[in-house]
Structure 1
Amino acid sequence: MKRCAANQLFFSAVFLFFSFSVFAQEAETKPGSSAQELADKLANPVASLISVPLQNNLSYGIGPFNGSKYTINIQPVIPFKLTENLNLITRYILPVVDQRDITGENTHQFGLSDATVTAFFAPKTKGLIFGFGPAFLVPTATEKLLGTEKFGVGPSVLLMHQGKGLSVGFIANQIWSVAGNEDRADFNSFYTQIFLSHSYKSGASLGVNAEITQNWEGNTTLISLNPSIGAVTKLGDQVVQFAVMPLIPVLGPHEIKPDWGLRAVVAFVFPGS
């Protein structure tokens, strides 16, 4: 069967989002920090805030064999204070993948894919916010067909404007492979996410983002448009953000573009400096 146990975990995450959103309350990490302020910080990729998002992605109708893929991205964000006016924001993405009928009919792969690590040097500013630094591709895949077997590096950049309740901007990186298995294809990929979100006093938020991935080596472009709804709440003393969004494919070759997708995010939030 194409529907595996991992898919059940995805739909459980969606169910949890709707269940807890109904009972959402104003979460506070410290005195004076409202749920809306926290939602705005979470919309800022270089905010000095520790968070551990679990991003669940489910895609169907991929390639000639109508394949399916479930990916949970473990995405901790850890800030470091370098000076009074400069932070280093480190972001990690470790994907766990369960896919069927992607590489061929009646095929199945499960395991870790390659990790991506970015480090943003982010001056403390208000209004116009920016960050820059290196991005790394780390070959952590546990199966050959889930990774590149390449180590890569390149630049990353963030530019956004943020006011109370409104965040708009983009984040991007370009990574080239510099070492690894010489028998595997080189890695040369550009990724950007353009985002817009609006938060409310309750901690709820509405937004939309466009994700663009350009594989220069394979000469393919993949674009998706992703409207979202989110909420900040508390589970006991733990501050949590939930979000859910359809993944609407806009452009891409048939072999990699899904017919449809869905994403649910559960982010555990901890106060930063």
Structure 2
Amino acid sequence: MNQFRIYATAKFLFSMFLILLNFSAFAQEEKAGASAQELADKMANPVASLISVPLQNNLTYGIGPYNGSKYQINIQPVVPFKLSENLNLITRYILPVVDQQDVTGENTHEFGLSDATVTAFFAPKTKGIILGVGPAFLVPTATEKFLGTEKFGIGPSVLVMHQGKGLSIGFLANQIWSVAGNADRADFNQFYTQLFLTHSYKSGASLGITSEITQNWQGNTTLITVSPNVGAITKLGGQTMQFAVMPLIPVVGHSSIRPDWGLRAVVAFIFPGK
């Protein structure tokens, strides 16, 4: 196993250790009960009026013809804005930091920022079916040529879900087209959707399953993954947090982009407000 794999695996195992530690710690918190489940339900709702900063750690092996490896941490703050008594604007940011080896070629290595995605959902306050719609932007923040598109992009995003106490089910999707950028680079034309089902418990623990579909229309490639997951709400000191862990199981994908297997661990800092 090369140094990259040892380093990436160590980082992921440390995340796993934190998750298991906090499951144990949370089980001892007798009074967390209903408020913990409420937070778990809000974290399952992409347009909940809740400030959070998830750090999503992704580790994938066996990528492409050179059996590449990638560690990617997505910094994903969610910031809501109250526009009126019946309408919120939920902004979601994804800034990926990537460390990869043997992905773009044999004995190659890239490290740095990838392109950022910014989404804004206008979310009316409704009962039963929850809706969100707005623009999604691709921002060329990559610090390495092979980690980004060198393109600006824009397109629509939508969320449809139903949520009752302890049960969340729905999907979010966006379609982004490049509109400006380096003319020598290929155009960006990509559809992404995430389908999710989550069941939460009074303790703040949750079980669920997620499927992510990425369709690159320009490259004519499709990648579909399925991820059963387990999570928990807890506190470290006075900071409310959520931990989750899941495998990344590829079920459809061209050999050039499909990994053999992957793992994901999420640490989210939550700021519930008053």
Task: Please say whether Structure 1 and Structure 2 have the same fold, judged by a TM-score greater than 0.5.
Answer: yes
Aligned to 1:23: 25
Which consecutive residues of structure 2, in runs of 5 or more, have no partner in the other structure? none
Residue 13 of structure 2, aligned match among 8, 11, 14: 11
Q: Is the CA contact 1:89–1:122 (under 8 Å) kept in the aligned structure 2?
A: yes
Quick one: which amino acid aligns to residue 267 of structure 1?
A
TM-score (norm 2): 0.96
* Offset of residue 33 of structure 1: 6.1
Residue deviations 1:174-193 (CA, integer Å, cap 9, x gap) = 00000000000000000000
Aligned to 1:231: 232
Residue deviations 1:9-49 (CA, integer Å, cap 9, x gap) = 22211110011111213686xxx961001100000000000
Provide the rounded CA distance (Å) in 1 between the counterparts of 2:168 and 2:30: 20
Check if 1:88 corresponds to 2:89: yes
Instruction: Indicate the SS of the match to 2:105.
Output: coil
Q: Is the CA contact 1:27–1:35 (under 8 Å) kept in the aligned structure 2?
A: no
* Offset of residue 230 of structure 1: 0.2
Instruction: Indicate the SS of the match to 1:34.
Output: helix
**Range with bigger deviation, 141-150 or 10-19:** 10-19
Aligned to 1:141: 142
* Offset of residue 55 of structure 1: 0.1
Residue deviations 1:47-81 (CA, integer Å, cap 9, x gap) = 00000000000000011111000000000000000
Provide the rounded CA distance (Å) in 2 between the counterparts of 1:84 and 1:26: 35
Provide the rounded CA distance (Å) in 2 between the counterparts of 1:121 and 1:233: 29
Provide the rounded CA distance (Å) in 2 between the counterparts of 1:154 and 1:4: 39
Which consecutive residues of structure 1, in runs of 5 or more, have no partner in the other structure? none
Instruction: Tell me the percent identity.
Output: 76
Provide the rounded CA distance (Å) in 1 between the counterparts of 2:41 and 2:30: 13
Provide the rounded CA distance (Å) in 1 between the counterparts of 2:15 and 2:126: 35
Instruction: Indicate the SS of the match to 1:3.
Output: helix
- The aligned runs of 1:1-273 (5 Å cut-off) are 1=2, 2-24=4-26, 25=29, 34-272=35-273
TM-score (norm 1): 0.96
* Offset of residue 4 of structure 1: 4.9
Q: Is the CA contact 1:26–1:35 (under 8 Å) kept in the aligned structure 2?
A: no
* Offset of residue 5 of structure 1: 2.9
Distance 1:248 1:161, change over 3 A: same
Provide the rounded CA distance (Å) in 1 between the counterparts of 2:99 and 2:224: 22
* Offset of residue 7 of structure 1: 3.7
Residue deviations 1:103-126 (CA, integer Å, cap 9, x gap) = 111100000000000000000122
Residue deviations 1:204-248 (CA, integer Å, cap 9, x gap) = 000001100000000111000000000000111100000000000
Q: Is the CA contact 2:34–2:202 (under 8 Å) kept in the aligned structure 1?
A: no
Quick one: which amino acid aligns to residue 84 of structure 1?
E
Provide the rounded CA distance (Å) in 1 between the counterparts of 2:12 and 2:77: 19
Give the total of aligned pairs.
270
Provide the rounded CA distance (Å) in 2 between the counterparts of 1:127 and 1:34: 20
Instruction: Indicate the SS of the match to 2:142.
Output: coil
Coordinate RMSD, CA, aligned: 1.3
Q: Is the CA contact 2:34–2:203 (under 8 Å) kept in the aligned structure 1?
A: no
